[in-house]
Every structure is written in C-alpha cells, then in structure tokens.
Structure 1
C-alpha cells in the first residue's frame, strides 16, 4: 500500500515539474521570437480602412451626350464666317467639323458649302460639315462647269447641283410654257466655270 502511495506521489511530482518546465519553455520561446522580430525591423501590417463607406465611384457623364435629342432644321450657313457658323450650330446643339479649301470666290474664313444641306432635319448632337475658304492654301483651285438645268424638275436640278458641290438658291415665278415645278431659268450660263460652293439659283415655274 505504501509503495503505491509513493509511486503516485512520484508521478504527481514528475507531472508538476513537466508542466512547469513546458510553460516556462513556451514563455521563453515567445520572448525570443518577439525580440527577433523587433530587431529585424519588420513593418507591421495595416489593413487600409475603406473611407468611401463601401460606396462605388459615381459614373461621370459625358457632356457631349444629349439626352432625348430633338430633330432640328439645318440653318443656312452660306457666306457666314466660321465663328458665326459655329455659334449658330452651337445654339442648335449641333457639332461642327471644319474643312478648309481654296476658293477664289470667297474670302478666307467664309463658309461656302455645308452638309447636311439647308432645311434638312438632323438630330441634336450630330456633326455638320462646314467648308471654309482659305486663300493661303497652295495649288490651283478646282472649278466646275455649270450644267444645263432648264427643263429639269426642281428635285432633279437640286440633286445634280449638289452632286457637283454647288449651293442651291431658289426663285418661284409663273412661267409660260413650263409646267409647275420645272426649272425655266438659271443665273449662270451653261458650261460656265465657277468655284465649288458657288450658289447657283434656279428659277422654278409655278405654272402659267
């Protein structure tokens, strides 16, 4: 009986010393690691805070985009200066693309042709091509022969002139011998050589 008690006491003492030694070992290990990390100068990791509060960046709107654009009627830019044309188109919320060409019939900086044409309907935000004279450009100016328009219907005459790069002017009068809507006269002689962008006026019959 005594021997059993002695064995139990020995086991208890051994267990006590083992646990005490293990705890001391852990404590020494922590102190050693902390000392090594401090000497190595390793930076502490910081998790950046989300100052935005989790909100997404707002989408930036494109100022050139027009909501619910309307159809507007193309104004007459003929013989306006480039600045005047730009101001007029800006009021209608239209963009402008300038193309410079030499044209002896117009001073530098003056509009002599446009696309789309006068009175055509286009959406706000669309681009209008404006042809502006620049006398300083090198090279020989291109001149075009005026076609024969008398006897053509108004629509046919307008299409032919525009295809050749001319502007179109209109006059409407009674004309004996010409049906309504037919061209009976023009302000330039046939085969006259004139600059592109020149306004050719057609006189259209309203009937006799």
Structure 2
C-alpha cells in the first residue's frame, strides 16, 4: 500500500515538473515571438524611412535636372517663382487699362505702315489698337490700309484705334468698292462719304471757275470704278475763281 502511494506521489511530482518546464518553454517561445515581431516592425519602419527619404531626394534631383535641361534648350521655365523672391525678371510692358488724367491727342497717319509700326506709334501716344484683317490685293500682307478714327481727328488717350490690315492669305474674293460721284459736293461732304466707304482721302486745292470755294470740282478716279478698300481717292477742291 505504501509503495502504491509512493508511486502515485512520484508520478504527480513528475507531471508537475513536466508542466512547469512546458510553461517555461512556452513563455520563452512567446517572448521570442514578441521580440521577432518587434524586430520586424523596426526593420519595416527603418526601410520605410529610407524609401521615403530616397524618393524625395530622387524627385528633387529630377526637378533640378529638368530645370537645367529646359534652361539649356531656351524654353521658358515651368518653375513658379516664390512670392517676394529677389530674382531679377525682364520687365513686361503692358498698356495700362486706365490712364490717369488722359489727354486728347491727334490721330497720326497709319496708312501703309506695317502692323508693328502702327502699334508702336499708337503705344507712344498711349492708345490701344484693334486689328481687323481683310483680303486686299492693293496692299501687301501686314500693311495698314485704313484706320478709324481718321487722320488728324482727336481721340482720348486710353481709347482704341481700329486698323485694317491686309492679309493676302485669307480665303474668298476681295470685296471691291465703287467710287462715288464727288463733284459738286463740299469738301466736308466728300470726305465723309469717302471715309464711310473705307477710302483714304487725298487733297488738291486749285482755283476753278464755276465752283465756289470749298467745292469739289474733280476727282482722280472715274465714278463707279471698282477699287480696293483703303485706296486713296484724291479730291480736287476749288479755292474760288
């Protein structure tokens, strides 16, 4: 009986020792697993840090390389300058939309000037320019053949001058204009009619019997002749008998 009790007690002791060892082993395994996970997390964090840092550095180097290539090629830079930067920039001349204390100026003669010459001349007078292109066989492409307001008329600075510029490359037929009868009209009436039709006006003043002073007695184009818009029609005005 005693031997049986001793055997049972020994068996129980062995089981307790075995369970304790298993618990210690499991504890060590759990700690090892936790350490492994922590190490993996740290490795991932370090790898992520180096990846992000390397990507940002690569992007910065790429932008610098592109900017250098654009600069060498002469193309305009895509870089947006920071506000208040001290870099020097070429001044851009812009026509002011509003002019303080505008003055009245006399319209210059833009006839047969190029579009660029007309723009420069009007800019000096602080006038804006609107360009209308029309096909006109009598004038080379890019040449002004008509203007509104007309020569020597007064215009306020900041206002817009309309210039008609020839363009031989436009499609379609050129519209020809018939020359009206001007003889017997006063100088003012003849000038108004010609300008309304789109003609330039030339003047000659001579004595003419049968025509009062200031009356048109002759013109250089026959009535109903079809000519291009902008053609200069000369009227001969009587200075009296």
Matched, 1:166 2:191: no
1:63 is displaced (CA, Å) by: 3.2
For residues 75-125 of structure 1, the C-alpha deviation after alignment (integer angstroms, 9 at most, x for no partner) is: 110111111111111111100001100000000000000000111101000
Which whole-Å CA distance do the structure 2 matches of 1:7 and 1:138 have between them? 75
SS in 1 for 2:137: coil
Relative contact order (alpha carbons < 8 A, sep ≥ 6): 1 or 2 greater? 1
Moved more, 124-133 or 43-52: 43-52
Q: Structure 1 residues 87 and 175, CA, compared in 2 at 3 Å: closer, same or farther?
A: same
Which whole-Å CA distance do the structure 1 matches of 2:172 and 2:78 have between them? 71
For residues 46-83 of structure 1, the C-alpha deviation after alignment (integer angstroms, 9 at most, x for no partner) is: 99999999999999999321110000000110111111
SS in 2 for 1:93: coil
1:171 is displaced (CA, Å) by: 1.3
Which whole-Å CA distance do the structure 1 matches of 2:164 and 2:226 have between them? 19
Gaps of 5+ in 1: none
SS in 2 for 1:202: strand
TM-score, with length taken from structure 2: 0.60
Which whole-Å CA distance do the structure 2 matches of 1:70 and 1:140 have between them? 41
Which whole-Å CA distance do the structure 2 matches of 1:126 and 1:197 have between them? 22
Aligned CA RMSD, in angstroms, stands at 15.9
SS in 2 for 1:191: coil
Moved more, 66-75 or 3-12: 3-12
1:161 is displaced (CA, Å) by: 0.9
Gaps of 5+ in 2: 1-33
Matched, 1:53 2:113: no
Which whole-Å CA distance do the structure 1 matches of 2:143 and 2:72 have between them? 79
Which whole-Å CA distance do the structure 1 matches of 2:60 and 2:114 have between them? 90
Moved more, 8-17 or 39-48: 8-17
Which whole-Å CA distance do the structure 2 matches of 1:3 and 1:140 have between them? 88
Structure possessing the higher radius of gyration over alpha carbons: 2
TM-score, with length taken from structure 1: 0.70
Q: Structure 1 residues 71 and 149, CA, compared in 2 at 3 Å: closer, same or farther?
A: same
Moved more, 33-42 or 86-95: 33-42
Q: Structure 1 residues 149 and 64, CA, compared in 2 at 3 Å: closer, same or farther?
A: same
SS in 1 for 2:48: helix
Q: Structure 1 residues 205 and 126, CA, compared in 2 at 3 Å: closer, same or farther?
A: same
Q: Structure 1 residues 181 and 17, CA, compared in 2 at 3 Å: closer, same or farther?
A: closer
Matched, 1:107 2:140: yes
SS in 1 for 2:82: coil
Which whole-Å CA distance do the structure 2 matches of 1:28 and 1:104 have between them? 57
Aligned residue pairs: how many?
208
